Amino acid sequence: MSVLPQGHPPFKVGKLGVLLINLGTPEGTSYWPMRRYLKEFLSDRRVIEVNPVLWWVLLNGIILTTRPKKSGHAYEQIWNRERNESPLKTITRSQAEKLAARLSDAPNVIVDWGMRYGLPPTAERIQALKDQGCDRILLFPLYPQYSASTTATALDKAYDALKAMRWQPAIRTVPPYFDNPAHIEALALSLEAHLKTLDWEPDLILASFHGLPKDYFMAGDPYHCHCMKTARLLGERLKLPREKLQVVFQSRFGKAEWLQPYAQQTVEELPSKGVKKLVMMCPGFASDCVETLEEVAIGLRETFEEAGGEKFSVVPCLNDSDPSITMLESIVRNELKGWL
């Protein structure tokens, strides 16, 4: 028997939501889809902290005229043609589906996924979870190492959605997991498995993280420290000599100084220093994307081989592998304690 008064609006409660949030992706590789995506991404003040008036002129007058074609070509190299979407979207969806299967013993938990930029938008997926009765939601930005330009802006977008709601769900957020034992173990298992597929032993392993302007670091962003600790813990877990596993930073944009050493310059110089066999991995990316599949696996391979390198291989990101889903499950179950 209903205890609601006559005419009371319907509602659902009692469910727990888990929302995986990734960076985002264009909906196509042609000019206009790329332009829409880049405009949203490069208009984010968390990402671009330069003078907003000057940046608006540069963005709308030059960058959005020229960069969509170049970026579209990069995406074209790695596009998932079967689904007509980027690998990032394919993998993030699969991560959510596999995590949901792992949490099937908790029938009141609903797992979903969304993007900070592009589709499906974060606000839409938060509303979808709420519509299904989720009055408590765990937000999980898929960035192991915290940066204002990644984790913070993903959560900003979620909070913007909450501000528009009359009845907000209770919210928890997953802390950066750069040093979480489950994350380090997943990275170690991934690297070990990949090395076993090679018929050669690398002279060096490079851990390549996405770059960040040095000014952001100097302003207090902990990203560099998080990256270095991830690499150190991984090396310790694998008992690698310090000189065997080194850190570089990729994807530099613009003329400002970024975190160093730069991946492009380092890879180009390695053959002349006797490094002929190179393995690279990207421990800051939860899913393979244009930065790992095109910039590293294609672009840096060409750089290395043209400079005299002989053997080159890239470890896939954790993606939707068993170690990855085990890690996600471990983190989510720990964060949901008290709610389950």
Place of tokens 């977008």: 157
In this structure, the answer to whether residues 22 and 163 fall within a common structural domain is yes
Q: What pLDDT is attached to residue 4? A: 66
Give the single-character DSSP code of 10: P
Rounded to the nearest integer, the mean pLDDT of the chain is 96
Asked if 211 and 171 sit in the same domain, the reply is no
Residues 207 and 292 in one domain: yes
Give the chain's length. Answer: 340
Asked if residue 237 and residue 96 are part of one domain, the reply reads no
Is the domain of 41 the same as that of 171? yes
We report the CATH number of the domain holding residue 228 as: 3.40.50.1400
Given this model, what pLDDT does residue 1 score?
A: 43
Complete DSSP assignment for 237-303 = HHT--GGGEEEEEE---SSS-BSSSBHHHHHHHGGGGT--EEEEE-TT-SS--HIIIIIIIIIIHHH
Helices of type H across the chain: 31-42, 52-58, 64-78, 87-102, 122-131, 153-163, 181-196, 214-218, 223-238, 263-269, 290, 301-306, 322-335
Percent of the chain with pLDDT over 90: 94
Indicate if 38 and 171 belong to the same structural domain.
yes
Distance CA 62, CA 227 (A): 33
Domain that holds residue 46: 15-177+323-335
For residue 4, being part of any structural domain is answered with: no
Q: Is residue 191 part of a domain?
A: yes
Examine the domain organization and report whether 196 and 154 are in the same domain.
no
Residues 170 and 76 in one domain: yes
- Give domain status of residue 264, yes or no: yes
Whether the predicted pLDDT of 306 surpasses 60: yes
- Count of structural domains within the chain: 2
Nearest Cα residue to 98 out of 287, 300, 336: 287
Q: Average the pLDDT over 227-256 and give the result.
A: 95
Q: Model's pTM, two decimal places?
A: 0.94
Same domain as 232, residue 93:
no
Residue 279 lies in a domain: yes
